[in-house]
Amino acid sequence: MKSLDPYLIRKDFPILERKIGNLPLVYLDNAASSLKPIQVIDAVCRFYREHYSNVFRGVHELSREATEMYEEAREKVRKFIGARNASEVIFTYNATDSLNMVAFGWGFSNVEEGDRIVVTIMEHHSNLLPWRKLSEVRRAELSYIDIDDEGILKYDTLSEIIDEKTRIVTVTHMSNVLGTINRLEDIVKRAHEVNAIVVVDGAQSVPHMKVDVKELDIDFLAFSGHKMLAPTGIGVLWGKLDLLEEMEPYRLGGGAVKRMEYNSAVFREPPLKFEAGTPNIAGAIGLGAAIEYLTHIGMDNVREHEERLVEHTLKLFEEELVNNIELYGPKDPKVRGGIISFNLKDYSCHSVGVMLDLRGIAVRTGLHCANPLHRRLGVNGTVRASYYIYNTVEEIEYLVSCLKEFTKKRSATI
Protein backbone atom coordinates (compact mmCIF):
# COMPACT_ATOMS: atom_id res chain seq x y z
CA MET A 1 0.00 0.00 0.00
CA LYS A 2 1.65 3.23 -1.21
CA SER A 3 -0.22 5.51 1.18
CA LEU A 4 -2.69 5.00 3.96
CA ASP A 5 -6.33 5.07 2.83
CA PRO A 6 -8.52 5.17 5.95
CA TYR A 7 -11.69 4.62 3.94
CA LEU A 8 -10.33 1.36 2.53
CA ILE A 9 -8.94 0.32 5.91
CA ARG A 10 -12.31 0.87 7.60
CA LYS A 11 -13.74 -2.03 5.59
CA ASP A 12 -11.54 -4.39 7.61
CA PHE A 13 -13.10 -3.35 10.94
CA PRO A 14 -16.57 -4.89 11.42
CA ILE A 15 -17.29 -2.91 14.58
CA LEU A 16 -17.26 0.34 12.60
CA GLU A 17 -20.55 -0.79 11.04
CA ARG A 18 -22.19 -0.40 14.44
CA LYS A 19 -24.61 2.37 15.31
CA ILE A 20 -24.57 4.17 18.64
CA GLY A 21 -28.23 4.96 19.01
CA ASN A 22 -29.06 5.81 15.41
CA LEU A 23 -25.66 7.38 14.72
CA PRO A 24 -22.49 5.93 13.17
CA LEU A 25 -19.76 5.01 15.63
CA VAL A 26 -16.89 7.52 15.73
CA TYR A 27 -14.17 5.76 17.70
CA LEU A 28 -11.64 8.22 19.12
CA ASP A 29 -10.45 6.19 22.12
CA ASN A 30 -7.48 4.48 20.52
CA ALA A 31 -4.98 5.49 23.20
CA ALA A 32 -6.96 3.28 25.58
CA SER A 33 -7.36 0.39 23.14
CA SER A 34 -7.60 0.00 19.39
CA LEU A 35 -10.27 -1.77 17.35
CA LYS A 36 -9.50 -5.12 15.73
CA PRO A 37 -9.44 -5.89 11.98
CA ILE A 38 -11.04 -9.02 10.61
CA GLN A 39 -7.59 -10.37 9.72
CA VAL A 40 -6.62 -10.48 13.41
CA ILE A 41 -9.99 -11.86 14.49
CA ASP A 42 -9.75 -14.61 11.85
CA ALA A 43 -6.17 -15.51 12.83
CA VAL A 44 -7.19 -16.05 16.45
CA CYS A 45 -10.32 -18.00 15.50
CA ARG A 46 -8.35 -20.16 13.06
CA PHE A 47 -5.86 -21.08 15.77
CA TYR A 48 -8.62 -22.15 18.15
CA ARG A 49 -10.55 -23.93 15.40
CA GLU A 50 -7.72 -25.77 13.62
CA HIS A 51 -4.46 -25.75 15.60
CA TYR A 52 -5.17 -25.40 19.31
CA SER A 53 -2.87 -27.05 21.80
CA ASN A 54 -0.47 -26.02 24.53
CA VAL A 55 3.04 -25.10 23.46
CA PHE A 56 6.59 -26.45 23.92
CA ARG A 57 6.16 -29.64 25.94
CA GLY A 58 3.97 -31.77 23.68
CA VAL A 59 5.32 -34.20 21.10
CA HIS A 60 2.06 -34.53 19.16
CA GLU A 61 1.33 -32.66 15.94
CA LEU A 62 -1.05 -30.07 17.36
CA SER A 63 1.46 -29.04 20.02
CA ARG A 64 4.20 -28.78 17.41
CA GLU A 65 1.95 -26.60 15.23
CA ALA A 66 0.97 -24.34 18.14
CA THR A 67 4.61 -23.97 19.20
CA GLU A 68 5.66 -23.09 15.67
CA MET A 69 2.92 -20.45 15.36
CA TYR A 70 3.82 -19.00 18.76
CA GLU A 71 7.50 -18.71 17.86
CA GLU A 72 6.65 -17.29 14.43
CA ALA A 73 4.80 -14.51 16.27
CA ARG A 74 7.91 -13.84 18.35
CA GLU A 75 9.97 -13.51 15.18
CA LYS A 76 7.45 -11.04 13.73
CA VAL A 77 7.82 -8.90 16.85
CA ARG A 78 11.60 -9.07 16.55
CA LYS A 79 11.54 -7.76 13.00
CA PHE A 80 8.91 -5.13 13.80
CA ILE A 81 10.99 -3.45 16.51
CA GLY A 82 14.40 -4.11 14.94
CA ALA A 83 15.70 -6.45 17.65
CA ARG A 84 18.82 -8.47 16.95
CA ASN A 85 17.65 -11.74 18.46
CA ALA A 86 14.24 -13.35 19.02
CA SER A 87 15.51 -14.41 22.47
CA GLU A 88 15.25 -10.73 23.46
CA VAL A 89 11.46 -10.78 22.91
CA ILE A 90 9.42 -11.84 25.94
CA PHE A 91 5.67 -12.27 25.73
CA THR A 92 3.86 -10.75 28.70
CA TYR A 93 0.26 -9.80 29.52
CA ASN A 94 0.63 -6.11 28.59
CA ALA A 95 2.96 -3.14 28.97
CA THR A 96 2.13 -2.90 32.69
CA ASP A 97 3.25 -6.48 33.21
CA SER A 98 6.41 -5.81 31.19
CA LEU A 99 7.37 -2.78 33.27
CA ASN A 100 6.77 -4.64 36.52
CA MET A 101 8.98 -7.43 35.18
CA VAL A 102 11.89 -5.01 34.78
CA ALA A 103 11.29 -3.23 38.09
CA PHE A 104 11.13 -6.39 40.18
CA GLY A 105 13.38 -8.60 38.06
CA TRP A 106 16.25 -6.26 37.18
CA GLY A 107 15.61 -3.49 39.69
CA PHE A 108 15.60 -5.52 42.89
CA SER A 109 18.96 -7.05 42.01
CA ASN A 110 20.66 -3.83 40.89
CA VAL A 111 19.22 -0.89 42.85
CA GLU A 112 20.61 -0.25 46.31
CA GLU A 113 19.99 2.21 49.12
CA GLY A 114 20.91 5.75 48.05
CA ASP A 115 20.64 5.03 44.33
CA ARG A 116 18.41 7.16 42.13
CA ILE A 117 15.56 6.18 39.82
CA VAL A 118 14.54 8.88 37.36
CA VAL A 119 11.04 9.14 35.85
CA THR A 120 9.16 11.97 34.16
CA ILE A 121 6.13 13.88 35.37
CA MET A 122 4.15 12.70 32.31
CA GLU A 123 4.32 8.97 33.04
CA HIS A 124 1.31 6.66 33.09
CA HIS A 125 0.80 5.04 36.50
CA SER A 126 2.06 1.76 35.00
CA ASN A 127 5.45 3.43 34.65
CA LEU A 128 5.30 5.12 38.04
CA LEU A 129 3.92 2.67 40.59
CA PRO A 130 6.47 -0.15 40.04
CA TRP A 131 9.37 2.29 40.41
CA ARG A 132 7.77 3.94 43.43
CA LYS A 133 7.48 0.54 45.11
CA LEU A 134 11.06 -0.35 44.13
CA SER A 135 12.36 2.94 45.53
CA GLU A 136 10.48 2.34 48.81
CA VAL A 137 11.70 -1.21 49.29
CA ARG A 138 15.30 -0.51 48.27
CA ARG A 139 15.36 2.94 49.93
CA ALA A 140 16.30 4.60 46.68
CA GLU A 141 15.48 8.14 45.58
CA LEU A 142 12.72 8.70 42.99
CA SER A 143 13.30 11.88 40.94
CA TYR A 144 11.11 13.52 38.31
CA ILE A 145 11.94 15.31 35.06
CA ASP A 146 9.51 18.21 34.71
CA ILE A 147 7.82 19.66 31.61
CA ASP A 148 7.50 23.20 30.28
CA ASP A 149 4.19 24.97 29.68
CA GLU A 150 3.78 23.30 26.30
CA GLY A 151 4.20 19.82 27.72
CA ILE A 152 7.76 19.22 26.50
CA LEU A 153 10.36 17.74 28.83
CA LYS A 154 12.92 20.15 30.26
CA TYR A 155 15.94 18.61 28.57
CA ASP A 156 18.23 21.27 30.02
CA THR A 157 17.77 19.64 33.45
CA LEU A 158 18.88 16.15 32.38
CA SER A 159 22.51 16.51 33.41
CA GLU A 160 21.47 17.62 36.88
CA ILE A 161 18.74 15.03 37.51
CA ILE A 162 20.41 12.06 35.84
CA ASP A 163 23.54 12.04 38.00
CA GLU A 164 26.17 9.49 39.01
CA LYS A 165 23.79 7.95 41.57
CA THR A 166 21.24 7.10 38.87
CA ARG A 167 20.71 3.42 38.09
CA ILE A 168 17.48 3.57 36.07
CA VAL A 169 15.90 6.19 33.81
CA THR A 170 12.39 5.26 32.71
CA VAL A 171 10.38 7.34 30.28
CA THR A 172 7.33 7.15 28.06
CA HIS A 173 8.17 7.41 24.38
CA MET A 174 4.88 9.24 23.82
CA SER A 175 2.65 10.73 26.49
CA ASN A 176 -0.81 9.18 26.73
CA VAL A 177 -2.22 12.60 27.71
CA LEU A 178 -0.18 15.29 25.97
CA GLY A 179 0.79 13.30 22.89
CA THR A 180 4.35 14.59 23.38
CA ILE A 181 6.94 12.48 21.59
CA ASN A 182 10.00 12.53 23.80
CA ARG A 183 13.53 12.86 22.42
CA LEU A 184 14.87 9.54 23.59
CA GLU A 185 18.29 10.18 22.07
CA ASP A 186 18.94 12.98 24.57
CA ILE A 187 17.82 10.85 27.52
CA VAL A 188 19.74 7.75 26.40
CA LYS A 189 22.94 9.73 25.86
CA ARG A 190 22.88 11.21 29.34
CA ALA A 191 21.78 7.99 31.07
CA HIS A 192 24.51 5.91 29.46
CA GLU A 193 27.12 8.53 30.37
CA VAL A 194 26.46 7.65 34.01
CA ASN A 195 25.98 3.90 33.36
CA ALA A 196 22.25 3.95 33.99
CA ILE A 197 19.84 1.80 32.01
CA VAL A 198 16.94 3.28 30.02
CA VAL A 199 13.51 1.68 30.22
CA VAL A 200 10.99 2.92 27.65
CA ASP A 201 7.22 2.69 27.90
CA GLY A 202 6.32 2.25 24.24
CA ALA A 203 2.60 1.59 24.74
CA GLN A 204 1.65 4.74 22.80
CA SER A 205 4.55 4.83 20.33
CA VAL A 206 5.02 1.31 18.99
CA PRO A 207 1.47 1.15 17.51
CA HIS A 208 1.82 4.53 15.80
CA MET A 209 5.36 5.04 14.50
CA LYS A 210 8.47 3.16 13.51
CA VAL A 211 10.41 2.08 16.59
CA ASP A 212 13.83 0.47 16.17
CA VAL A 213 15.46 -0.58 19.41
CA LYS A 214 18.93 -0.80 17.87
CA GLU A 215 18.76 2.76 16.55
CA LEU A 216 17.40 4.09 19.83
CA ASP A 217 20.03 2.17 21.86
CA ILE A 218 17.60 1.78 24.75
CA ASP A 219 17.90 -1.10 27.22
CA PHE A 220 14.28 -2.21 27.72
CA LEU A 221 11.06 -1.55 25.80
CA ALA A 222 7.52 -2.38 26.95
CA PHE A 223 4.34 -2.30 24.87
CA SER A 224 0.86 -3.81 24.66
CA GLY A 225 -0.83 -5.68 21.83
CA HIS A 226 -4.33 -4.38 22.46
CA LYS A 227 -3.34 -0.83 21.50
CA MET A 228 -2.02 -2.00 18.11
CA LEU A 229 -4.93 -4.03 16.67
CA ALA A 230 -4.10 -7.23 18.60
CA PRO A 231 -6.15 -9.00 21.30
CA THR A 232 -6.09 -8.03 24.96
CA GLY A 233 -3.88 -9.94 27.36
CA ILE A 234 -0.75 -9.96 25.21
CA GLY A 235 2.22 -7.65 25.62
CA VAL A 236 5.94 -7.55 24.96
CA LEU A 237 9.04 -6.86 26.96
CA TRP A 238 12.14 -6.42 24.83
CA GLY A 239 15.51 -6.20 26.53
CA LYS A 240 19.15 -6.34 25.57
CA LEU A 241 20.18 -9.97 25.79
CA ASP A 242 22.99 -9.48 28.29
CA LEU A 243 20.58 -7.73 30.67
CA LEU A 244 17.95 -10.45 30.27
CA GLU A 245 20.52 -13.17 30.93
CA GLU A 246 21.43 -11.62 34.28
CA MET A 247 17.85 -10.64 35.20
CA GLU A 248 15.81 -12.66 37.68
CA PRO A 249 12.44 -14.07 36.53
CA TYR A 250 9.47 -12.07 37.78
CA ARG A 251 7.04 -15.03 37.67
CA LEU A 252 8.03 -18.56 38.61
CA GLY A 253 6.47 -21.79 37.44
CA GLY A 254 6.27 -24.52 34.85
CA GLY A 255 8.40 -24.21 31.72
CA ALA A 256 10.83 -21.70 33.21
CA VAL A 257 13.45 -24.16 34.50
CA LYS A 258 15.88 -26.61 32.95
CA ARG A 259 16.16 -28.61 36.16
CA MET A 260 14.41 -28.56 39.50
CA GLU A 261 15.80 -30.18 42.63
CA TYR A 262 14.45 -30.25 46.17
CA ASN A 263 16.30 -27.08 47.16
CA SER A 264 17.55 -25.58 43.89
CA ALA A 265 16.54 -24.72 40.37
CA VAL A 266 18.38 -23.96 37.14
CA PHE A 267 16.48 -21.55 34.93
CA ARG A 268 16.23 -21.74 31.16
CA GLU A 269 17.70 -19.09 28.90
CA PRO A 270 15.69 -16.03 27.80
CA PRO A 271 12.97 -15.68 26.80
CA LEU A 272 11.51 -18.89 28.25
CA LYS A 273 12.69 -18.31 31.82
CA PHE A 274 10.36 -15.27 31.88
CA GLU A 275 7.31 -17.05 30.41
CA ALA A 276 6.33 -19.45 33.19
CA GLY A 277 3.01 -21.24 32.85
CA THR A 278 0.77 -21.50 29.83
CA PRO A 279 1.14 -18.24 27.86
CA ASN A 280 -1.49 -16.37 25.90
CA ILE A 281 -0.83 -18.39 22.76
CA ALA A 282 -3.81 -17.06 20.80
CA GLY A 283 -2.93 -13.52 21.85
CA ALA A 284 0.61 -13.89 20.54
CA ILE A 285 -0.70 -15.25 17.23
CA GLY A 286 -3.15 -12.34 17.07
CA LEU A 287 -0.30 -9.92 17.74
CA GLY A 288 1.65 -11.50 14.90
CA ALA A 289 -1.33 -10.96 12.58
CA ALA A 290 -1.64 -7.34 13.75
CA ILE A 291 2.04 -6.76 13.01
CA GLU A 292 1.59 -8.17 9.52
CA TYR A 293 -1.34 -5.80 8.99
CA LEU A 294 0.59 -2.73 10.19
CA THR A 295 3.69 -3.74 8.25
CA HIS A 296 1.64 -3.94 5.06
CA ILE A 297 0.34 -0.41 5.66
CA GLY A 298 3.79 0.88 6.62
CA MET A 299 4.54 2.55 9.94
CA ASP A 300 5.75 5.72 8.24
CA ASN A 301 2.31 5.94 6.60
CA VAL A 302 0.62 5.43 9.97
CA ARG A 303 2.63 8.28 11.47
CA GLU A 304 2.00 10.62 8.50
CA HIS A 305 -1.75 9.94 8.61
CA GLU A 306 -2.02 10.74 12.31
CA GLU A 307 0.14 13.83 11.89
CA ARG A 308 -2.29 15.12 9.27
CA LEU A 309 -5.26 14.42 11.55
CA VAL A 310 -3.61 16.25 14.45
CA GLU A 311 -2.72 19.21 12.26
CA HIS A 312 -6.31 19.44 11.02
CA THR A 313 -7.65 19.18 14.58
CA LEU A 314 -5.43 21.95 15.89
CA LYS A 315 -6.40 24.15 12.95
CA LEU A 316 -10.13 23.63 13.56
CA PHE A 317 -9.76 24.17 17.30
CA GLU A 318 -8.04 27.49 16.58
CA GLU A 319 -10.66 28.57 14.04
CA GLU A 320 -13.85 27.30 15.68
CA LEU A 321 -13.23 27.01 19.42
CA VAL A 322 -10.37 29.36 20.23
CA ASN A 323 -12.09 31.11 23.15
CA ASN A 324 -13.91 28.05 24.47
CA ILE A 325 -11.26 25.36 24.66
CA GLU A 326 -8.12 24.69 26.66
CA LEU A 327 -5.67 22.48 24.78
CA TYR A 328 -2.81 20.57 26.42
CA GLY A 329 0.42 19.47 24.80
CA PRO A 330 2.72 20.68 22.02
CA LYS A 331 1.33 22.93 19.29
CA ASP A 332 3.62 21.42 16.66
CA PRO A 333 2.15 18.23 15.10
CA LYS A 334 5.69 17.08 14.33
CA VAL A 335 6.46 16.52 18.01
CA ARG A 336 3.16 15.05 19.13
CA GLY A 337 1.35 11.84 18.32
CA GLY A 338 -2.30 11.30 17.50
CA ILE A 339 -3.57 12.33 20.93
CA ILE A 340 -5.51 15.52 21.64
CA SER A 341 -6.39 16.29 25.27
CA PHE A 342 -8.52 19.32 26.05
CA ASN A 343 -11.18 20.84 28.24
CA LEU A 344 -14.23 22.77 27.12
CA LYS A 345 -14.97 26.03 28.92
CA ASP A 346 -17.73 25.77 31.57
CA TYR A 347 -18.02 21.98 31.23
CA SER A 348 -16.47 19.16 33.23
CA CYS A 349 -14.54 16.67 31.14
CA HIS A 350 -17.01 13.93 32.05
CA SER A 351 -19.99 16.01 30.91
CA VAL A 352 -18.33 16.51 27.53
CA GLY A 353 -17.66 12.78 27.27
CA VAL A 354 -21.30 11.93 27.96
CA MET A 355 -22.58 14.50 25.48
CA LEU A 356 -20.23 13.21 22.80
CA ASP A 357 -21.33 9.63 23.48
CA LEU A 358 -24.93 10.70 22.78
CA ARG A 359 -23.70 11.76 19.35
CA GLY A 360 -21.91 8.47 18.69
CA ILE A 361 -18.41 9.72 19.52
CA ALA A 362 -16.25 7.61 21.85
CA VAL A 363 -13.56 9.56 23.72
CA ARG A 364 -11.84 9.07 27.07
CA THR A 365 -12.35 11.41 30.04
CA GLY A 366 -10.69 11.78 33.42
CA LEU A 367 -7.11 11.51 34.61
CA HIS A 368 -6.02 8.78 32.16
CA CYS A 369 -3.93 7.05 34.86
CA ALA A 370 -1.67 10.10 34.96
CA ASN A 371 -2.57 11.91 38.18
CA PRO A 372 0.79 13.66 38.77
CA LEU A 373 0.71 15.08 35.24
CA HIS A 374 -2.79 16.49 35.69
CA ARG A 375 -1.75 18.06 39.00
CA ARG A 376 1.17 19.63 37.13
CA LEU A 377 -1.29 20.97 34.54
CA GLY A 378 -3.55 22.26 37.29
CA VAL A 379 -6.68 20.39 36.16
CA ASN A 380 -8.82 17.60 37.59
CA GLY A 381 -9.16 15.76 34.30
CA THR A 382 -9.25 16.16 30.53
CA VAL A 383 -11.14 14.98 27.49
CA ARG A 384 -8.92 12.86 25.26
CA ALA A 385 -9.51 12.16 21.58
CA SER A 386 -6.97 9.73 20.13
CA TYR A 387 -6.59 8.66 16.52
CA TYR A 388 -5.59 5.63 14.51
CA ILE A 389 -5.44 4.28 10.98
CA TYR A 390 -9.23 4.14 10.44
CA ASN A 391 -10.02 7.67 11.59
CA THR A 392 -10.92 10.31 9.01
CA VAL A 393 -10.94 14.06 8.53
CA GLU A 394 -14.74 13.95 8.47
CA GLU A 395 -14.81 12.40 11.94
CA ILE A 396 -12.65 15.22 13.28
CA GLU A 397 -14.88 17.82 11.68
CA TYR A 398 -17.91 16.12 13.24
CA LEU A 399 -16.19 16.17 16.66
CA VAL A 400 -15.44 19.88 16.36
CA SER A 401 -18.98 20.68 15.19
CA CYS A 402 -20.39 18.87 18.25
CA LEU A 403 -18.06 20.75 20.60
CA LYS A 404 -19.04 24.02 18.94
CA GLU A 405 -22.72 23.11 19.42
CA PHE A 406 -22.12 22.53 23.14
CA THR A 407 -20.49 25.94 23.56
CA LYS A 408 -23.40 27.67 21.81
CA LYS A 409 -25.94 25.91 24.00
CA ARG A 410 -23.99 26.85 27.10
CA SER A 411 -23.82 30.50 26.04
CA ALA A 412 -27.56 30.53 25.40
CA THR A 413 -28.31 29.39 28.98
CA ILE A 414 -26.07 31.94 30.66
CB 400 within 8 A of CB 359: no
Local confidence band at 354 (pLDDT 50, 70, 90 cut-offs): very high
314 CB neighbour count, 10 Å cutoff: 18
Please tell me what DSSP assigns to residue 269. P
The answer, yes or no, to whether residue 82 has pLDDT greater than 60, is yes
What was the pLDDT predicted at 109? 96
What was the pLDDT predicted at 413? 63
Any idea which residues carry the catalytic annotation? 369
What was the pLDDT predicted at 65? 97
CB contact set of 253 (below 8 Å; sequence gap of 6+): 276, 277
* Nearest-angstrom CA–CA distance, 122 and 177: 8
* Nearest-angstrom CA–CA distance, 366 and 176: 12
Q: What burial class does residue 367 get, using C-beta atoms within 10 Å of its C-beta: 0-12 exposed, 13-18 middle, 19+ buried? A: middle
- Domains in the chain and their CATH numbers? 6-30+299-405 (3.90.1150.10), 41-296 (3.40.640.10)
For 240-295, the pLDDT digits (tens) are: 999 999 999 989 999 999 899 999 999 999 999 999 999 999 999 999 999 999 99
What was the pLDDT predicted at 411? 64
Query: What's the CA angle centered on 273, arms 267 and 278, to 5 degrees?
Result: 125
For 4-47, the pLDDT digits (tens) are: 999 999 999 999 999 999 999 999 999 999 999 999 999 999 99
The answer, yes or no, to whether residue 202 has pLDDT greater than 70, is yes
For 293-308, the pLDDT digits (tens) are: 999 999 999 999 999 9
Taking residues 348-364, report their average pLDDT.
98
CB 236 within 8 A of CB 77: yes
Query: If you count them, how many residues does the chain have?
Result: 414
CB 102 within 8 A of CB 237: yes
Classify 326 as helix, strand or coil. strand
pTM for this one?
Answer: 0.97
**Mean of pLDDT over the chain:** 96
The answer, yes or no, to whether residue 121 has pLDDT greater than 70, is yes
